[in-house]
Every structure is written in C-alpha cells, then in structure tokens.
Structure 1
C-alpha cells in the first residue's frame, strides 16, 4: 500500500537546537526547537512505514492495532485523530491483503473488532517487533535519571500547555 511520497521535511536541527540550548536563547527559539523534535518522531516513523510499503496513516493504524488487538475503527479514530474514512480505507486495504480480519463484537454486532490473521501476525512480527526493539534500545541509551527527567519535563510542559490552551477564548 504505497502512496505518493510527500516532500521530505528536513528540520533545521543543528542550528535551531544549538541556538535553543544557548544560555541567551529566547522562549520562541526554544519552543520551535522543542516542536521540531516532536516533529522528528513523525518523520522517523513515517520513513520506516514507507520502507515497509505503508503510508503514514496506514503505519499509525497498523501500529495501534499491534498494541490493541481486537480494537474497533472508532477506537482507532479516537486515538490517531484520523478521519473515519481514512481509517476505514486503510482497514479495508489491510484486510484485502489478508493481514486483518473483522469480526462482529460480542456485545454489539454493529461494531467490528479488528484482529490480525496468521499472515498479519507474521507481518506484525516482521514490521513492529524490530521497531519496538529499536525504541527500547534508544530509551536504554539514556540513563535512568535522564529517562525520568525527560518524562517529567514533557509531562509538566504538556500540562501547562493544556491548561493555557484550554483557557483560551475562541
């Protein structure tokens, strides 16, 4: 499942990050550098997904199903923030490739639960397992105190951001 390749985005990493880390750096530069780093996450996973023959949306959906076997399209939409039609198209394409099967929910037959087929499990192992190992190795490259600090600081920033944006008048 390959889509046209978007223009590659190259963040101004070295310059922006170096400037943002300088003692005299302004808040705007630091905020830009911070968001550039978050954008890199999408770039890293998007590039890997394309190498596996998946669009970015398909990779996001596939990754979510890997962690949530038996999920529904509604749950995928809520988590990924992708439109229902996009999720439906990707699920149907993966099912037509023999990677997924849909079953009616035991509680509500209108809801289809998404599961991997045997072929899907093999593909999952081929695509998702190496990524998870790479993620664990990347996290292990940080010292335990660095990992805790990273999580704590990002959480503190996100809580402050959520509070301030939540208080904005529209």
Structure 2
C-alpha cells in the first residue's frame, strides 16, 4: 500500500528518529525513537484488526490460538498479558460465532483446550494468513545479515533492560 503522505502507522513525532540518528550521544532521544518503533508494531496490528472488525485484544487472542492449536485460556493469558476475564469473554464470543470449540484436556479434565472449528480455519485464512504473508515479505525486504543483526541487537537490548529492571528494588 503506497501513500504520498505519512501512513497511519507513523508516530506523530517521526522526526525523532532522524534526530536520534543525528545526535548519537543523546540516549534519551535514541530510547524514545526505539520505543516509538516498537509502539508502531501495536499500531500496525491494531489498525489491521480494526479493518477486519476486531479489537486488538480479539486479534491478539485469535492469532495466538491459530498458532497454538489446543492452547488453554491460562496459556493465552500468560502470553498476551491480558486479564483472565478479557480472555474468557473473547473466547466465549469466538465460540458463539462458531470459530472455536472447547475440548477437555486428556491430562486434566478441568482444563479446556481451545481449537479452531472449520469456520475458524476459514476465518484464519481470511484474517491471519495474509498478515503472516506480509510479515514474511517484510522480513524478506531485509538482507540476511540485517535480519540477523536486528534480532541480535534487539535481544541484547532486551536482556540488558530485563537485568536492570530486575535489579530495581521496589
């Protein structure tokens, strides 16, 4: 999708990225630029979900179920960090739409496993599969060394951030 004007996904302060790149010693500006780029991820997926008639939480949950057939509500909560009630409401709504079905766990009958129905699989092909294809195309737009570097640097930053935040006394 090509636009001659900024896309709806660009942060309102897009110039901060150029500023951060120009001012290499300004850690605050660089951190803000990095955070804005991560925030764009939520904006991009949220905007797509809305175009499909889904809230961000519904899209996030449905996407997770598509990638993790037989998951449980507890696993969805742990992955998405959404409240149990939100996940439960979304699951029930998707069941009532005929997209999901529940099945008792073989190991613990108290745990219900969540599966796509045939209608859910068709919906997956309409909604989730095009996003996966777009993600793969976007990744392919980077050179192999750029992809590796991106993963390495983000991982290095996240590990450092986690260590420092874990070290903060509350």
What TM-score, normalized by structure 1, do the two folds share?
0.92
Q: Distance in 1 between matches of 2:93 and 2:162?
A: 36
Match of 2:19 in 1: 19
Q: In 1, are the aligned partners of 2:9 and 2:40 still within 8 Å (CA)?
A: no
CA RMSD of aligned residues (A): 1.3
Q: In 2, are the aligned partners of 1:69 and 1:116 still within 8 Å (CA)?
A: yes
The CA deviation at 1:53 is 1.1
Match of 1:164 in 2: 164
Match of 2:46 in 1: 46
Q: Distance in 2 between matches of 1:114 and 1:68?
A: 9
Match of 2:78 in 1: 78
Q: In 1, are the aligned partners of 2:9 and 2:44 still within 8 Å (CA)?
A: no
Q: 5+ residue gaps in structure 1?
A: 1-7
Q: Distance in 1 between matches of 2:106 and 2:54?
A: 31
Match of 1:147 in 2: 147
What TM-score, normalized by structure 2, do the two folds share?
0.92
Greater displacement, 128-137 / 24-33? 24-33
Q: Distance in 2 between matches of 1:76 and 1:43?
A: 21
1:65-95 alpha-carbon deviations (Å, 9 max, x no partner): 0110000000000000000000000000000
Alignment coverage as a number of residue pairs: 163
1:22-49 alpha-carbon deviations (Å, 9 max, x no partner): 1445000000000000000000000111
The question of 1:28 aligning with 2:28 is answered yes
Q: Distance in 1 between matches of 2:129 and 2:56?
A: 18
SS at 1:113 equivalent: strand
Q: 5+ residue gaps in structure 2?
A: 1-7
Greater displacement, 80-89 / 25-34? 25-34
1:141-168 alpha-carbon deviations (Å, 9 max, x no partner): 0000000000000000000000000000
Match of 2:121 in 1: 121
Moved over 4 A (4+): none
Match of 2:110 in 1: 110
Q: In 2, are the aligned partners of 1:19 and 1:25 still within 8 Å (CA)?
A: no
Q: In 1, are the aligned partners of 2:101 and 2:114 still within 8 Å (CA)?
A: yes
